[in-house]
Amino acid sequence: MKSCAVFIATTGGPVQVLQLTPERAPQSMVCVNRTTNVLPVSKLYDQFVKPGSGVVEREFGPFDAASFRVDVSGPIDTGNSWQLGMYLVHALHASPEHRLVEDIAAADEIIWATGCVDYHLNVTEVDHVAAKIQATLDLFAEWAGLGKAVAVITAAGVNESDARAAAADHGVQVFGAENAGQAGEILGLAGAPNSALVISGTEAKSGSARNIALATLILVLAGGAVFAALQPEEFAEWSEELKAFVAGAQVAQEEPAPPAPIVKPVLPPAVAVIKPKPTLPKITVAIKRLAPPAGGTCMQVHFGGADPVMKSVQKITGGDHGESGRGDTCGLRFEFDGTGKYLAAFLRVKSGRFVQAAKKPASLAGSLPVSGAQTWTIQLPQKADAPFAYDLAVLSSDTPLGAELARLQGQEDLVAALSVLAKKQIKLAIHNHRVSAR
């Protein structure tokens, strides 16, 4: 029997599904750590389970008990990205060869899942997949140390690409599923036992196209008059017979017709279409000094409520900036704009120190695409024995950068990383600046 631990991904960190218990209760519920604390997401989970609105009863029922209680290790938001994880939990519960376990040491495999499951069992995309991966990196490292196999399962497409980029080199396998049947196959499950809504990849390639064509032909020959003549009960009965006939039909193989010759249209010169070049978002980075107001001091800015005056730091060439004086530099403000791109920024301090007055925006961690201008402000001590010299490193890409940011922060030579990152379609800009000691 295969034992699986299941975690539902959230931006606050993964939440483990501890147990699934059938209950004779009016509705299904989600509770925290076996307490009586019923989470607000319970109403949505009940709708996901019960027939009519949901898929669990339809796929794995009928059940003797009317409802389920799910115990989880922490809160789950009221969105729908928990649906894929909960679906897989019910699939494990229904399988005689699998079981859900809480003890990580006893698990043969750890499942990390995020995605929505619609009525037709399609797995649809969700937001913040890269951020959810970032929130799990410490656990990925812990599980790798235990030698556990970890499967990250999300929707095929953009979510899968984001997960692969964010989880790269962290010892996990990333899978993209188009439907719940494919997600079940990752666990070694046969898929949804009751439903004909999911067609596996093998069936789709071999026989389903012929069966669909046959069913379509039957419907066309039957004509609208047949549908009009049938009562609802008769139509349902006829429909079931049709499905049985289509499923058992043996279609003789015929020699394929030769492909029609492809005629390439020739456009006269005047009709030639010129596609405009796409406008790429421009990435801008600016460094500004927080200077004291006229007649004021940095002490008044830091502790007296005086508003600083923003002054641009002189840019010399490339990433080089002119030196700033300590006396009229109370702090530094870094401004970024690269709407639609992923940006990641950090400081490599070469000498001196700074006081981080404002937390760096989450959008500068490379996990979320930037929307509008972003700012990050630091304060500088007024007395220092050494200049404050630093490099401001800024990564930009069309894909999440969390993993690359973590690697680059541990690398001594930033310049040496330029060519490696360029091969991955990642740009690295290095801005160096110095504030004098006095």
Domain of residue 27, CATH code: 3.30.230.10
Domain identity same for 151 and 290? no
pLDDT score recorded for residue 49: 95
- Could you give the number of structural domains in the chain? 2
Q: Kindly report the average pLDDT of the chain as a whole number.
A: 80
Domain that holds residue 431: 284-435
pLDDT band, very low/low/confident/very high, at 256 (cuts 50, 70, 90): low
In a domain, 297, yes or no: yes
Of 139, 155, 186, which closes a domain? 186
Reported as a single tens digit per residue, the pLDDT across 306-365 is 888 999 998 887 788 999 999 899 999 999 988 888 898 988 889 998 876 667 787 888
Expressed in angstroms, the distance from the first to the final Cα of the chain is 70
Domain identity same for 289 and 181? no
pLDDT score recorded for residue 331: 92
Give 39-103 as a DSSP string: -TTHHHHHHHHSTTT-SHHHHH---SSSEEEEEESS---SSSTTHHHHHHHHHHHH-TTEEE-S-
For residues 367 and 9, what is the distance between their CA atoms, to the nearest angstrom?
15
pLDDT score recorded for residue 197: 54
In a domain, 66, yes or no: yes
For residues 153 and 184, what is the distance between their CA atoms, to the nearest angstrom?
10
**Is residue 205's pLDDT more than 50?**
no
Reported as a single tens digit per residue, the pLDDT across 79-121 is 899 999 999 999 999 988 899 999 999 999 999 999 999 999 9
Contact assessment for residue 355 and residue 390, using Cβ atoms and an 8 Å cutoff = no
Of 186, 210, 244, which closes a domain? 186
pLDDT score recorded for residue 358: 67
In a domain, 244, yes or no: no
Reported as a single tens digit per residue, the pLDDT across 402-433 is 778 877 877 778 888 888 888 888 999 999 99
Domain identity same for 180 and 318? no
In a domain, 167, yes or no: yes
Of 186, 209, 228, which closes a domain? 186
